């Protein structure tokens, strides 16, 4: 007779055994290497997080990029930049290709390096030596040269804002050989060498005139080039009128400080710009960035401008789908979620926390799905009253105010099981570092609770949205479980596809693998 304690009959659906321990010390399932790389690329900002250091993230990404097929690394770099709107991670992944597969590096260079900031990021990563070389190499050098020779004057001026490296450093490094007289003069002007002033292109020439005579027209150049100069309120108002949508969003307090909103009609001009649907779409703004602007706006920023930010938030969340059937959304409000969503960075730590992003996602789903049930959780589910007719920001602020306690990702599922509740789609938004819910037997507590839930709801689907750079999950990937990472609107697009049965067996990784490299 076999030992029935060891070979007892399992009740309910089969629960796979946990095969990993997460950063918080809880049982978990390891994501496969390609999925780990995608998760890090979509959420990692290479800063210290609640559970992991920036160095640990870097080491993990380098190891995963080295073991993965170069084509998958290239596709992930493109996905992280074009869909995830990330900066450092796609630059890092692209740089690894300069060592492993320079042909692939060349194929995706233009899709990752889509502005001067990304150009400087890639150059800095390469010359740092972390990917195994400190020189650019001939092919990467030619691609950098070509970017400099193809860029417009406006793109070059924008790229010239910032250091480590500066664009002047890059020009000195790769020595572009321009055919146009204006470009030759501009490069010489940039690096401080003698140049023909009459050959300078119009924006740069206007900037030089304005430096010499402040009564001349304010030039349409990046405002960082002007901020060190003595400017009156009228000049700052002109900067606000001309600035890009993202620049305006980021500098509302600066405008208030310099008297822009005291200028007749300027508050309304800025508000109209912020709530313009086409401008919001073109800016590729992340919803959490709008939350940042709302939270950071000083009292001197007019109410009409703050209201426009909320209007822009509604526009930025246009991709949040309406789901068929009964929906439950579960934002994690535990203590670890109080950490900055993009990590700690000296002098540049975001005011937006993980809990803010989870609350924002939950509120956005509720806005589009008025009958959705919201179950915020930490050790247990925390009751909260939300009105789907309220703005996304209002409901997000209510949820974000709950914070505290340990992390028990199984808590909302266990509550639904006790209630014998029915649902078609359950969304879990978390940092996925569950430790306070102890499993009884094999698998994680979350997977056990999901197995019990599936007995009553055989067609239900579970989506675990992880907003931190982790390598494990609480619910193992399978046909009825999707694990996805990130905080861009791409998450909502894939969520809609999955809920409608439009993703293949590989789910999120399959979407990345379908990206064309040509």
CB atoms inside a 10 Å sphere around CB 510: 12
- Cα–Cα–Cα angle for 43, 47, 52, nearest 5°? 80
Parts of the chain belonging to CATH 3.40.50.410:
324-513
Residue pair 334/407 in contact by the 8 Å Cβ criterion: yes
Angle between helices 138-150 and 102-112 (to 10 degrees): 20
Pick the CATH number of 324-513 from 3.40.50.410, 3.40.190.10, 3.90.650.10, 3.60.21.10: 3.40.50.410
Q: Could you tell me where the beta strands, DSSP code E, fall in 270-382?
A: 327-331, 373-374
Tens-digit pLDDT profile for residues 326-364: 999 999 999 999 999 888 887 778 788 999 999 999 999
Measured CA to CA, the distance from residue 292 to residue 436 in angstroms comes to 30
Instruction: State the pLDDT at residue 9.
Output: 46
Question: Which H or E run includes 273?
Answer: helix 266-274
292 has pLDDT over 90? no
CB atoms inside a 10 Å sphere around CB 265: 9
DSSP state, residue 458:
T
Residue pair 29/19 in contact by the 8 Å Cβ criterion: yes
Measured CA to CA, the distance from residue 36 to residue 472 in angstroms comes to 8
98: confidence class by pLDDT, cuts 50, 70, 90: very high
227 has pLDDT over 70? yes
143: confidence class by pLDDT, cuts 50, 70, 90: very high
Residue pair 45/344 in contact by the 8 Å Cβ criterion: no
7: confidence class by pLDDT, cuts 50, 70, 90: very low
Q: Looking up tokens 């899709």, which residue turns up?
A: 111
Average pLDDT over residues 17-37: 95
Query: Which residues 6+ apart lie within 8 Å of 19 measured at CB?
Result: 29, 30
Tens-digit pLDDT profile for residues 182-211: 999 999 999 999 999 999 999 999 999 999
- Is the alpha carbon torsion for 52, 57, 58, 59 positive or negative? positive
Tens-digit pLDDT profile for residues 293-327: 888 899 999 999 999 999 998 888 877 889 999 99
Q: Which conformational region is residue 190 in: left (phi greater than 0), alpha (psi within -120 to 50 degrees), or beta?
A: alpha
Measured CA to CA, the distance from residue 428 to residue 172 in angstroms comes to 49
10: confidence class by pLDDT, cuts 50, 70, 90: very low
Query: Which residues 6+ apart lie within 8 Å of 125 measured at CB?
Result: 91, 92, 95, 131
Q: Say what percent of the chain tops pLDDT 90.
A: 77
Mean pLDDT of the chain: 92
Task: With H, G, I as helix, E, B as strand and everything else as coil, classify residue 478.
Answer: strand
Task: With H, G, I as helix, E, B as strand and everything else as coil, classify residue 92.
Answer: helix
Question: Which H or E run includes 37?
Answer: helix 33-43
Average pLDDT over residues 248-271: 96
Task: With H, G, I as helix, E, B as strand and everything else as coil, classify residue 502.
Answer: coil
Give a three-class secondary structure readout of 295-351.
HHCCCCCCHHHHHHHHHHHHHHCCCCCCCCCCEEEEEECCHHHHCECCCECCCCCCC
DSSP 173-211: HH----SSHHHHHHHHHHTT----GGGS-HHHHHHHHHH
Tens-digit pLDDT profile for residues 34-92: 999 999 999 998 888 888 889 999 999 999 999 999 999 999 999 999 999 999 999 99
Give the range among 9-18, 56-65, 145-154, 368-377 with minimum mean pLDDT.
Answer: 9-18
User: Phi and psi at residue 377, in whole multiples of 5°?
Assistant: -140, 155
Residue 28 token pair:
């978990």
2: confidence class by pLDDT, cuts 50, 70, 90: low
Measured CA to CA, the distance from residue 121 to residue 357 in angstroms comes to 26
Q: Looking up tokens 């100069």, which residue turns up?
A: 229
6 has pLDDT over 50? no
Of 326, 338, 292, 335, give the one whose Cα is nearest residue 312: 292
Average pLDDT over residues 159-168: 95
Measured CA to CA, the distance from residue 196 to residue 245 in angstroms comes to 34
Instruction: State the pLDDT at residue 482.
Output: 95
Measured CA to CA, the distance from residue 471 to residue 223 in angstroms comes to 40
Q: Looking up tokens 């931190």, which residue turns up?
A: 468
The total number of residues written for the chain in this structure: 518
Tens-digit pLDDT profile for residues 356-407: 999 999 999 999 999 999 999 999 999 999 999 998 889 999 999 998 899 9
Q: How far apart are the first and last CA of the chain?
A: 62
Instruction: State the pLDDT at residue 488.
Output: 83
Instruction: State the pLDDT at residue 291.
Output: 85
Q: Prior bond to 13 cis, omega within 30?
A: no
Residue pair 396/291 in contact by the 8 Å Cβ criterion: yes
Measured CA to CA, the distance from residue 186 to residue 199 in angstroms comes to 8
Query: Which residues 6+ apart lie within 8 Å of 117 measured at CB?
Result: 87, 158, 159, 162
Query: Which residues 6+ apart lie within 8 Å of 212 measured at CB?
Result: none
Task: With H, G, I as helix, E, B as strand and everything else as coil, classify residue 264.
Answer: coil
Of 205, 129, 122, 206, give the one whose Cα is nearest residue 164: 122
Strand partners, 20: 28
Instruction: State the pLDDT at residue 484.
Output: 95
Instruction: State the pLDDT at residue 69.
Output: 97
Of 63, 115, 122, give the one whose Cα is nearest residue 89: 122
Instruction: State the pLDDT at residue 1.
Output: 56
Instruction: State the pLDDT at residue 485.
Output: 94
């Amino acid at each position: 007779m076999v030992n029935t304690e060891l070979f007892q009959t399992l009740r309910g659906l089969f629960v796979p055994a946990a095969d990993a321990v997460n950063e918080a010390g809880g049982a978990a399932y390891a994501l496969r290497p390609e999925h780990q790389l995608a998760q890090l690329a979509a959420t990692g900002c290479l800063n210290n997080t609640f559970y992991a250091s920036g160095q640990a993230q870097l080491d993990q990404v380098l190891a995963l990029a080295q073991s993965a097929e170069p084509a998958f690394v290239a596709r992930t770099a493109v996905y992280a930049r074009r869909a995830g709107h990330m900066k450092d991670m796609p630059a890092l992944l692209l740089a690894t290709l300069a060592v492993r597969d320079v042909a692939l590096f060349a194929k995706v260079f233009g899709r990752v390096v889509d502005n001067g900031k990304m150009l400087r990021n890639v150059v800095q990563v390469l010359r740092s030596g972390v990917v195994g070389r400190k020189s650019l190499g001939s092919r990467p050098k030619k691609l950098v040269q070509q970017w400099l020779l193809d860029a417009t004057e406006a793109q070059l001026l924008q790229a010239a804002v910032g250091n480590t490296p500066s664009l002047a450093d890059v020009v000195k490094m790769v020595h572009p050989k321009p055919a146009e007289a204006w470009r030759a003069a501009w490069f010489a002007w940039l690096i401080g060498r003698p140049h023909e002033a009459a050959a300078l292109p119009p924006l740069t020439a206007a900037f030089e005139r304005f430096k010499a005579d402040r009564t001349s027209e304010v030039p349409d150049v990046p405002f960082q080039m002007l901020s060190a100069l003595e400017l009156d309120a009228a000049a700052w108002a002109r900067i606000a009128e001309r600035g890009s949508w993202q620049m305006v969003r980021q500098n509302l307090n600066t405008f208030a400080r310099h008297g822009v909103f005291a200028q007749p009609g300027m508050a309304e001009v800025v508000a109209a710009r912020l709530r313009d649907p086409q401008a919001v779409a073109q800016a590729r703004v992340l919803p959490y960035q709008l939350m940042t602007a709302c939270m950071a706006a000083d009292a001197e920023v007019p109410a009409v401008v703050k209201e426009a930010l909320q209007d822009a938030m509604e526009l930025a969340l246009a991709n949040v789908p309406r789901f068929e059937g009964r929906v439950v959304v579960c934002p994690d409000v535990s203590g670890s979620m109080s950490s900055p969503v993009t990590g700690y960075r000296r002098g540049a730590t975001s005011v937006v926390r993980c809990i803010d992003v989870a609350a924002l996602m939950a509120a956005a789903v509720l806005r589009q799905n008025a009958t959705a049930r919201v179950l915020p959780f930490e050790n247990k589910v925390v009751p909260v009253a939300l009105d789907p007719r309220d703005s996304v920001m209002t409901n997000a602020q209510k949820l974000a105010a709950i914070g505290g306690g340990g992390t028990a990702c199984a808590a909302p599922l266990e509550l639904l099981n006790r209630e014998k509740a029915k649902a078609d789609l359950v969304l879990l938004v978390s940092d996925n570092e569950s430790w306070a819910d102890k499993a009884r037997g094999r698998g994680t507590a979350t997977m056990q609770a999901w197995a019990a839930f599936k007995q009553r709801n055989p067609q239900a689907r579970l989506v675990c949205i992880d907003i931190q750079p982790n390598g494990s999950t609480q619910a193992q990937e399978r046909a009825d479980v999707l694990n996805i990472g990130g905080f861009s609107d791409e998450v909502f697009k894939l969520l809609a596809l999955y809920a409608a049965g439009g993703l293949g067996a590989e789910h999120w990784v399959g979407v990345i693998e379908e990206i064309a490299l040509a």
